[in-house]
Amino acid sequence: MRFVVMGKPRLAAIPSLQAGALLVMVLMAGPACRREEARSVSSVAAKTESYAITGEVIDVALEKGCLIVRHDAIPGYMPAMTMEFLVEPGDLQNARRGSRISATMIPSETGDFRLVKIWPAGEPAAVVRRKTQDLVDETTRLGGDAYREVGAPAPAFALFRQDGEVVTSDRFRGRQVMLNFIFTRCPVATMCPAAVARFQQVQQKARASGVDNLELVSISLDPLHDTPGVLREYARSRMIDTSNYSFLTGPDAAIRALLAQFGVLAEFQGDLLNHTLATLLIDETGKIAWRADGSSWSVDEFLSRLKH
């Protein structure tokens, strides 16, 4: 099976083929940051100047919707300093004092500074990078044989969960895992939204029938947009129970390799993301036990295959 991912993520999607130096040092008493202002800031990034930034979270101002970050110098723009930044809700909830982050900084005409595309940095990011390199090397070595059939072991990986924590595939050993690929900006009701809704149905029915070792995993097809904070807000806005439902994202290279090994097609064509859907069941030993291509699989069919 052939796998292609091209271009950069855009804002729209279509159904798949049926196949299966104004420097402002902001102190705690600085300009108020309102959560309402932070909700749609990522859409501004493409329309104004922006800067890559790294730093350490010093404090989390939940009531103002801001992070206090001691950031590193931004060459040609700003020296290292501690500032207050507007952030989006999911990023605010994920932030932890003392953690390092990387992000895109957007200055505004009003003198506020905003952070979007926030990712964990430091050792968590290093873990994901190392595992990603292993995954990419394996996929390259396998070449045309990278696709894993039913009965084969699922590939090993390390990605970020919607809360910013690193999750490795080993975490799910001894659990039954249902896995698919989605992206948060998918506007086609019969594609990603339907896939997520079915996972919620499985979650509810499995719990009601006594299945207590089920994990649901949705991996983002659009990692350049779907940061951990974006995924967290996506789950919150849909009232998804994340006690055993993980939304994962990570380096684009990791996603490409997983698509190849799981046999899912994704290709950007202009402003459109064309992708196939596949839902996989991975057993307690880490082997692929079942696969359903497309978006019309039956909830009850998967439930019948879960071990009680």
Torsion of CA 50, 86, 251, 176, to 10 degrees: -160
Structure tokens at 270: 């202009």
Structure tokens at 185: 């900006």
For residues 146 and 130, give the distance between their C-alpha atoms in angstroms, rounded to a whole number: 19
pLDDT at 7: 36
With beta carbons less than 8 A apart as the criterion, state whether 18 and 296 touch. no
Phi and psi of 164, rounded to 5°? 90, -5
With beta carbons less than 8 A apart as the criterion, state whether 57 and 69 touch. yes
Phi and psi of 101, rounded to 5°? -135, 160
For residues 229 and 172, give the distance between their C-alpha atoms in angstroms, rounded to a whole number: 22
β partners of residue 61: 66
With beta carbons less than 8 A apart as the criterion, state whether 188 and 266 touch. no
Structure tokens at 151: 């009965």
For residues 49 and 75, give the distance between their C-alpha atoms in angstroms, rounded to a whole number: 14
Positions of E strands within the chain: 12-14, 51-61, 66-71, 81-86, 100-107, 113-120, 158-161, 166-168, 176-182, 214-220, 245-249, 266-269, 272-275, 278-282, 288-293
With beta carbons less than 8 A apart as the criterion, state whether 291 and 281 touch. yes
Query: What pLDDT tens digit does each residue of the chain (308 aa) get?
Result: 333 333 333 333 433 333 333 233 333 333 344 433 334 444 444 456 899 999 999 999 999 999 999 999 999 899 999 999 999 999 999 999 999 999 999 998 788 899 999 999 999 999 999 999 999 999 999 998 999 999 999 999 999 999 999 999 999 999 999 999 999 998 888 889 999 999 999 999 999 999 999 999 999 999 999 999 999 999 999 999 999 999 999 999 999 999 999 998 877 666 677 778 899 999 999 999 999 988 778 899 999 999 87
Structure tokens at 97: 């004092």
Dihedral sign of CA atoms 112, 113, 115, 121 in order? negative
For residues 4 and 41, give the distance between their C-alpha atoms in angstroms, rounded to a whole number: 31
CA angle (96, 214, 183) in 5-degree steps: 60
**Cβ contacts of 144-152, under 8 Å, gap ≥ 24:** 146/3, 146/257, 146/260, 146/261, 147/1, 147/3, 147/260, 147/261, 147/262, 147/263, 148/261, 148/262, 148/263, 148/288, 149/288, 150/288, 150/289, 150/290, 150/291, 151/287, 151/288, 152/287, 152/288
